[in-house]
Structure 1
Amino acid sequence: MKINCNDTLAVSLHRVFNADLNEHGTVFGGQILKLVDGEASVAAMRVTRSTVVTAAMDHVQFLRPFKLQDSMCMEAYVTGVGHRSLEVFVKVIGEHLMTGKRFLGFTCFMTYVIQDPTKKIAYDRVVPQDDEQRALTAGYQTRRRHRQENRQHQRDLLQSLTLKKPWQA
Protein backbone atom coordinates (compact mmCIF):
# COMPACT_ATOMS: atom_id res chain seq x y z
CA MET A 1 0.00 0.00 0.00
CA LYS A 2 1.24 3.51 -0.73
CA ILE A 3 0.68 7.01 0.62
CA ASN A 4 1.38 10.33 -1.11
CA CYS A 5 3.87 12.73 0.50
CA ASN A 6 1.28 15.50 0.31
CA ASP A 7 -1.15 13.41 2.38
CA THR A 8 1.37 13.57 5.23
CA LEU A 9 2.19 17.29 4.85
CA ALA A 10 1.98 19.38 8.02
CA VAL A 11 2.41 23.17 7.75
CA SER A 12 2.44 25.82 10.43
CA LEU A 13 3.43 29.47 10.76
CA HIS A 14 5.15 31.04 13.74
CA ARG A 15 5.88 34.71 14.14
CA VAL A 16 9.16 35.57 15.88
CA PHE A 17 8.72 37.52 19.11
CA ASN A 18 11.21 38.88 21.65
CA ALA A 19 10.68 35.87 23.93
CA ASP A 20 12.03 33.58 21.15
CA LEU A 21 15.37 35.41 20.87
CA ASN A 22 18.76 34.60 22.32
CA GLU A 23 21.50 37.07 23.24
CA HIS A 24 22.42 37.43 19.55
CA GLY A 25 18.96 38.69 18.64
CA THR A 26 18.12 35.53 16.70
CA VAL A 27 15.74 32.68 17.47
CA PHE A 28 17.25 30.30 20.02
CA GLY A 29 18.17 27.02 18.29
CA GLY A 30 16.48 24.95 20.98
CA GLN A 31 13.22 26.77 20.29
CA ILE A 32 13.46 25.84 16.61
CA LEU A 33 14.18 22.20 17.46
CA LYS A 34 11.16 22.07 19.77
CA LEU A 35 8.87 23.48 17.07
CA VAL A 36 10.33 21.20 14.41
CA ASP A 37 9.83 18.07 16.53
CA GLY A 38 6.21 18.97 17.14
CA GLU A 39 5.54 19.71 13.48
CA ALA A 40 7.24 16.55 12.23
CA SER A 41 5.32 14.38 14.69
CA VAL A 42 2.06 15.50 13.06
CA ALA A 43 3.30 14.27 9.67
CA ALA A 44 4.44 11.00 11.27
CA MET A 45 1.11 10.37 12.96
CA ARG A 46 -0.73 10.97 9.68
CA VAL A 47 0.95 7.79 8.48
CA THR A 48 0.95 5.69 11.66
CA ARG A 49 -2.32 6.82 13.27
CA SER A 50 -0.51 5.75 16.44
CA THR A 51 1.59 7.40 19.11
CA VAL A 52 5.15 7.87 17.90
CA VAL A 53 8.38 8.66 19.72
CA THR A 54 11.32 10.63 18.37
CA ALA A 55 14.20 8.27 17.65
CA ALA A 56 16.65 10.52 15.78
CA MET A 57 17.20 13.95 14.33
CA ASP A 58 19.92 14.16 11.71
CA HIS A 59 21.25 16.24 8.85
CA VAL A 60 20.36 19.24 11.04
CA GLN A 61 21.27 22.47 9.30
CA PHE A 62 20.77 25.94 10.73
CA LEU A 63 21.18 27.77 7.42
CA ARG A 64 20.10 31.34 8.17
CA PRO A 65 19.02 32.98 11.42
CA PHE A 66 15.46 34.04 12.16
CA LYS A 67 15.08 37.50 13.68
CA LEU A 68 12.43 39.81 15.08
CA GLN A 69 9.99 40.83 12.30
CA ASP A 70 10.40 37.37 10.68
CA SER A 71 7.94 34.53 10.41
CA MET A 72 8.88 30.86 10.27
CA CYS A 73 6.86 28.59 8.00
CA MET A 74 7.46 24.96 8.91
CA GLU A 75 6.74 22.25 6.38
CA ALA A 76 7.08 18.57 7.30
CA TYR A 77 6.27 15.47 5.29
CA VAL A 78 7.15 11.78 5.33
CA THR A 79 9.97 10.76 2.98
CA GLY A 80 10.26 7.06 3.81
CA VAL A 81 8.64 4.26 5.78
CA GLY A 82 9.82 1.04 7.39
CA HIS A 83 7.84 -1.51 9.38
CA ARG A 84 7.62 0.51 12.62
CA SER A 85 9.74 3.57 11.86
CA LEU A 86 9.51 6.40 9.39
CA GLU A 87 11.48 9.42 8.26
CA VAL A 88 10.11 12.96 8.10
CA PHE A 89 11.78 15.86 6.30
CA VAL A 90 11.33 19.32 7.78
CA LYS A 91 12.20 22.68 6.29
CA VAL A 92 11.67 26.07 7.85
CA ILE A 93 11.21 28.98 5.47
CA GLY A 94 11.68 32.44 6.88
CA GLU A 95 9.91 35.53 5.68
CA HIS A 96 10.95 39.08 6.50
CA LEU A 97 7.51 40.45 7.25
CA MET A 98 8.47 44.04 6.43
CA THR A 99 9.80 43.20 2.94
CA GLY A 100 8.19 39.87 2.02
CA LYS A 101 11.60 38.39 1.19
CA ARG A 102 11.71 34.63 1.85
CA PHE A 103 14.70 32.46 2.75
CA LEU A 104 15.46 28.88 3.71
CA GLY A 105 16.55 28.94 7.34
CA PHE A 106 16.58 25.34 8.58
CA THR A 107 16.32 21.73 7.40
CA CYS A 108 16.55 18.30 9.02
CA PHE A 109 15.34 14.72 8.92
CA MET A 110 13.50 13.20 11.88
CA THR A 111 13.03 9.50 12.57
CA TYR A 112 9.99 8.36 14.55
CA VAL A 113 9.09 4.91 15.84
CA ILE A 114 5.63 3.65 16.74
CA GLN A 115 5.53 3.44 20.52
CA ASP A 116 3.40 0.26 20.64
CA PRO A 117 5.72 -2.64 19.65
CA THR A 118 2.76 -4.68 18.36
CA LYS A 119 1.74 -2.11 15.72
CA LYS A 120 3.20 -1.74 12.24
CA ILE A 121 2.95 0.91 9.53
CA ALA A 122 0.21 0.06 7.04
CA TYR A 123 2.09 1.60 4.08
CA ASP A 124 5.11 0.15 2.32
CA ARG A 125 6.07 3.22 0.30
CA VAL A 126 5.73 6.96 0.02
CA VAL A 127 4.91 8.49 -3.37
CA PRO A 128 6.43 11.90 -4.15
CA GLN A 129 4.42 14.57 -5.98
CA ASP A 130 7.10 17.09 -6.99
CA ASP A 131 10.83 17.36 -7.73
CA GLU A 132 11.78 18.19 -4.15
CA GLN A 133 9.90 15.17 -2.81
CA ARG A 134 11.36 12.92 -5.53
CA ALA A 135 14.90 13.95 -4.58
CA LEU A 136 14.30 13.43 -0.86
CA THR A 137 12.45 10.12 -1.11
CA ALA A 138 15.12 8.79 -3.48
CA GLY A 139 17.74 9.19 -0.73
CA TYR A 140 15.70 7.51 2.01
CA GLN A 141 17.27 4.04 1.81
CA THR A 142 20.80 5.47 1.90
CA ARG A 143 20.01 7.65 4.93
CA ARG A 144 18.32 4.70 6.64
CA ARG A 145 21.36 2.48 6.06
CA HIS A 146 23.66 5.17 7.48
CA ARG A 147 21.45 5.44 10.59
CA GLN A 148 21.62 1.68 11.08
CA GLU A 149 25.41 1.71 10.75
CA ASN A 150 25.63 4.65 13.13
CA ARG A 151 23.57 2.82 15.80
CA GLN A 152 26.38 0.30 16.37
CA HIS A 153 28.92 3.11 16.61
CA GLN A 154 26.66 4.82 19.15
CA ARG A 155 26.35 1.61 21.20
CA ASP A 156 30.16 1.37 21.33
CA LEU A 157 30.46 5.02 22.29
CA LEU A 158 27.88 4.70 25.05
CA GLN A 159 29.95 1.93 26.63
CA SER A 160 32.74 4.50 27.10
CA LEU A 161 30.60 7.03 28.92
CA THR A 162 30.65 7.31 32.67
CA LEU A 163 27.83 8.23 35.03
CA LYS A 164 30.08 9.30 37.89
CA LYS A 165 29.84 12.85 39.16
CA PRO A 166 32.45 15.08 37.47
CA TRP A 167 33.67 16.51 40.77
CA GLN A 168 34.48 13.01 42.08
CA ALA A 169 37.77 11.54 40.96
Structure 2
Amino acid sequence: MPTITCNDTLAVACHRIFPTDLNEHGTLFGGRVLDLVDREASIAAMRIARQTVVTATIDHVNFIAPFKAQDSMCLEAYVTGFGNRSIEVFAKVTGEHLKTGKRFLGFTCFITFVIDDVTAEVTFDHIAPETKEQQTMCANYSERVAQRKQLRLASQTAIDNINIEFPWSKF
Protein backbone atom coordinates (compact mmCIF):
# COMPACT_ATOMS: atom_id res chain seq x y z
CA MET A 1 0.00 0.00 0.00
CA PRO A 2 1.20 3.55 -0.67
CA THR A 3 2.30 6.12 1.89
CA ILE A 4 0.91 9.65 2.07
CA THR A 5 2.54 12.62 3.83
CA CYS A 6 0.91 15.08 6.18
CA ASN A 7 1.69 17.82 3.65
CA ASP A 8 -0.21 15.91 0.95
CA THR A 9 -3.33 16.37 3.10
CA LEU A 10 -2.67 19.96 4.18
CA ALA A 11 -5.63 22.36 3.95
CA VAL A 12 -5.06 26.09 4.56
CA ALA A 13 -7.54 28.97 4.80
CA CYS A 14 -7.18 32.58 5.95
CA HIS A 15 -9.93 34.87 7.23
CA ARG A 16 -10.08 38.45 8.43
CA ILE A 17 -12.02 39.23 11.60
CA PHE A 18 -14.63 41.99 11.29
CA PRO A 19 -16.76 43.62 14.03
CA THR A 20 -19.80 41.56 12.93
CA ASP A 21 -17.87 38.38 13.83
CA LEU A 22 -17.46 39.38 17.49
CA ASN A 23 -19.32 38.37 20.64
CA GLU A 24 -20.18 40.62 23.58
CA HIS A 25 -16.59 40.34 24.84
CA GLY A 26 -15.21 41.83 21.63
CA THR A 27 -13.66 38.52 20.53
CA LEU A 28 -14.52 36.04 17.79
CA PHE A 29 -17.37 33.66 18.63
CA GLY A 30 -15.91 30.28 19.63
CA GLY A 31 -18.59 28.54 17.57
CA ARG A 32 -17.39 30.40 14.48
CA VAL A 33 -13.88 29.01 15.01
CA LEU A 34 -15.28 25.48 15.41
CA ASP A 35 -17.39 25.87 12.26
CA LEU A 36 -14.41 27.00 10.18
CA VAL A 37 -12.15 24.30 11.60
CA ASP A 38 -14.69 21.54 10.92
CA ARG A 39 -15.19 22.68 7.32
CA GLU A 40 -11.49 23.05 6.45
CA ALA A 41 -10.37 19.92 8.31
CA SER A 42 -12.82 17.87 6.25
CA ILE A 43 -10.75 18.81 3.18
CA ALA A 44 -7.67 17.21 4.74
CA ALA A 45 -9.68 14.09 5.59
CA MET A 46 -11.10 13.84 2.08
CA ARG A 47 -7.58 13.97 0.66
CA ILE A 48 -7.11 10.56 2.30
CA ALA A 49 -10.60 9.15 1.75
CA ARG A 50 -11.36 10.67 -1.67
CA GLN A 51 -15.03 10.36 -0.77
CA THR A 52 -17.58 11.80 1.64
CA VAL A 53 -16.57 11.94 5.30
CA VAL A 54 -18.61 12.89 8.35
CA THR A 55 -17.43 14.45 11.61
CA ALA A 56 -17.33 11.92 14.46
CA THR A 57 -15.54 13.84 17.24
CA ILE A 58 -13.83 17.10 17.98
CA ASP A 59 -11.53 16.75 20.98
CA HIS A 60 -8.46 18.14 22.69
CA VAL A 61 -10.02 21.56 22.00
CA ASN A 62 -7.83 24.46 23.15
CA PHE A 63 -8.95 28.08 22.88
CA ILE A 64 -5.50 29.57 23.54
CA ALA A 65 -5.80 33.25 22.64
CA PRO A 66 -8.76 35.34 21.43
CA PHE A 67 -9.15 36.76 17.94
CA LYS A 68 -10.28 40.40 17.78
CA ALA A 69 -11.37 42.87 15.12
CA GLN A 70 -8.52 43.77 12.76
CA ASP A 71 -6.89 40.33 13.31
CA SER A 72 -6.55 37.70 10.66
CA MET A 73 -6.66 34.01 11.36
CA CYS A 74 -4.94 31.30 9.35
CA LEU A 75 -6.23 27.78 9.74
CA GLU A 76 -4.04 24.79 8.91
CA ALA A 77 -5.31 21.22 9.04
CA TYR A 78 -3.59 17.94 8.15
CA VAL A 79 -4.08 14.24 8.76
CA THR A 80 -2.21 12.80 11.77
CA GLY A 81 -3.47 9.20 11.65
CA PHE A 82 -6.12 6.89 10.30
CA GLY A 83 -7.73 3.49 10.71
CA ASN A 84 -9.84 1.54 8.26
CA ARG A 85 -12.58 4.18 7.99
CA SER A 86 -11.62 6.80 10.58
CA ILE A 87 -9.29 9.72 9.87
CA GLU A 88 -7.81 12.01 12.54
CA VAL A 89 -6.98 15.59 11.56
CA PHE A 90 -4.98 18.11 13.59
CA ALA A 91 -6.11 21.71 13.19
CA LYS A 92 -4.44 24.88 14.38
CA VAL A 93 -5.48 28.48 13.96
CA THR A 94 -2.83 31.17 14.14
CA GLY A 95 -3.65 34.83 14.36
CA GLU A 96 -1.98 37.98 13.19
CA HIS A 97 -2.60 41.48 14.52
CA LEU A 98 -2.76 43.12 11.09
CA LYS A 99 -1.70 46.57 12.33
CA THR A 100 1.46 45.31 14.06
CA GLY A 101 2.27 42.05 12.27
CA LYS A 102 2.52 40.19 15.59
CA ARG A 103 1.52 36.54 15.25
CA PHE A 104 0.04 34.23 17.88
CA LEU A 105 -1.38 30.73 18.33
CA GLY A 106 -5.11 31.02 18.96
CA PHE A 107 -6.64 27.54 18.75
CA THR A 108 -5.84 23.83 18.34
CA CYS A 109 -7.86 20.62 18.24
CA PHE A 110 -8.10 17.13 16.78
CA ILE A 111 -11.09 16.13 14.67
CA THR A 112 -11.99 12.57 13.75
CA PHE A 113 -13.88 11.97 10.53
CA VAL A 114 -15.40 8.71 9.37
CA ILE A 115 -15.86 7.65 5.76
CA ASP A 116 -19.60 7.79 5.11
CA ASP A 117 -19.68 4.67 2.93
CA VAL A 118 -19.58 1.71 5.35
CA THR A 119 -18.03 -0.51 2.67
CA ALA A 120 -15.13 1.86 1.93
CA GLU A 121 -11.71 1.89 3.58
CA VAL A 122 -8.63 4.08 3.60
CA THR A 123 -6.29 2.85 0.85
CA PHE A 124 -3.03 4.16 2.33
CA ASP A 125 -0.66 2.18 4.52
CA HIS A 126 0.48 5.00 6.79
CA ILE A 127 0.94 8.76 7.14
CA ALA A 128 4.45 10.22 6.97
CA PRO A 129 5.10 13.39 8.98
CA GLU A 130 7.65 15.76 7.48
CA THR A 131 8.12 18.53 10.07
CA LYS A 132 8.86 18.49 13.78
CA GLU A 133 5.33 19.72 14.49
CA GLN A 134 3.83 16.95 12.36
CA GLN A 135 6.03 14.32 14.05
CA THR A 136 4.83 15.56 17.45
CA MET A 137 1.17 15.55 16.44
CA CYS A 138 1.34 12.11 14.80
CA ALA A 139 3.35 10.52 17.64
CA ASN A 140 0.46 10.03 20.06
CA TYR A 141 -2.22 9.01 17.55
CA SER A 142 -2.68 5.50 19.04
CA GLU A 143 -3.05 6.93 22.55
CA ARG A 144 -5.71 9.41 21.39
CA VAL A 145 -7.62 6.61 19.66
CA ALA A 146 -7.58 4.58 22.89
CA GLN A 147 -8.77 7.61 24.88
CA ARG A 148 -11.64 8.18 22.43
CA LYS A 149 -12.73 4.54 22.76
CA GLN A 150 -12.76 4.82 26.56
CA LEU A 151 -14.72 8.07 26.44
CA ARG A 152 -17.21 6.61 23.96
CA LEU A 153 -17.86 3.64 26.26
CA ALA A 154 -18.22 5.89 29.31
CA SER A 155 -20.54 8.24 27.42
CA GLN A 156 -22.82 5.43 26.27
CA THR A 157 -24.31 4.98 29.75
CA ALA A 158 -25.19 8.65 29.93
CA ILE A 159 -26.55 8.63 26.37
CA ASP A 160 -28.72 5.60 27.12
CA ASN A 161 -30.29 7.50 30.04
CA ILE A 162 -31.02 10.83 28.37
CA ASN A 163 -34.72 11.58 28.22
CA ILE A 164 -35.77 12.67 24.73
CA GLU A 165 -39.43 13.30 25.56
CA PHE A 166 -40.59 16.91 25.62
CA PRO A 167 -41.55 17.83 29.21
CA TRP A 168 -44.51 19.88 28.03
CA SER A 169 -45.92 17.04 25.87
CA LYS A 170 -47.87 15.72 28.87
CA PHE A 171 -50.11 18.79 28.99
**Bin of the TM-score, shorter chain as denominator length:** over 0.9
RMSD across aligned C-alpha pairs, in angstroms? 1.1
The CA distance in 2 between the partners of 1:167 and 1:24, in whole Å, is 35
Alignment match, 1:91: 92
SS in 1 for 2:130: coil
The aligned counterpart of 2:107 is: 106
**Quick check: 1:81–1:124 contact (8 Å CA) kept in 2?**
no
The aligned counterpart of 1:44 is: 45
SS at match of 1:90: strand
Q: Who is 1:63 aligned against? A: 64
- Does the 8 Å CA contact 1:48/1:121 hold for their aligned counterparts? yes
User: 8 Å contact 1:26–1:65 — kept in the other structure?
Assistant: yes
The answer for the alignment partner of 1:2 in structure 2 is 3
Q: 2: CA distance between counterparts of 1:82 and 1:162?
A: 33
- Contact kept in structure 2, 1:81 and 1:87, CA below 8 Å: yes
How many angstroms apart in 2 are the aligned matches of 1:151 and 1:78? 21
Unaligned runs of 5+ residues in structure 1 are none
Q: Distance in 2 between matches of 1:124 and 1:59?
A: 25
Within 2, Cα distance between the matches of 1:73 and 1:41? Answer: 16
User: How far 1:164 moved relative to its partner?
Assistant: 2.5
Letter of the 2:85 partner, please give it: R
AA aligned opposite 1:20:
D
Identity of aligned residues (%): 56
Whether the 8 Å CA contact 1:82–1:124 is kept in 2: the answer is no
Structure 2, unaligned runs of 5 or more = none
1:44-63, Cα deviation, whole Å (9 max, x unpaired): 00111000000000000101
How far 1:149 moved relative to its partner? 1.3
Give the C-alpha shift of residue 148 in structure 1: 1.1
Q: Runs of 4 or more off by more than 3 Å in structure 1? A: 166-169
Number of matched pairs: 169
Q: Equivalents in 2 of 1:40, 1:140: separation in Å?
A: 16
In 1: Cα distance, 2:112 partner to 2:125 partner: 16
Letter aligned with residue 81 of structure 2:
G
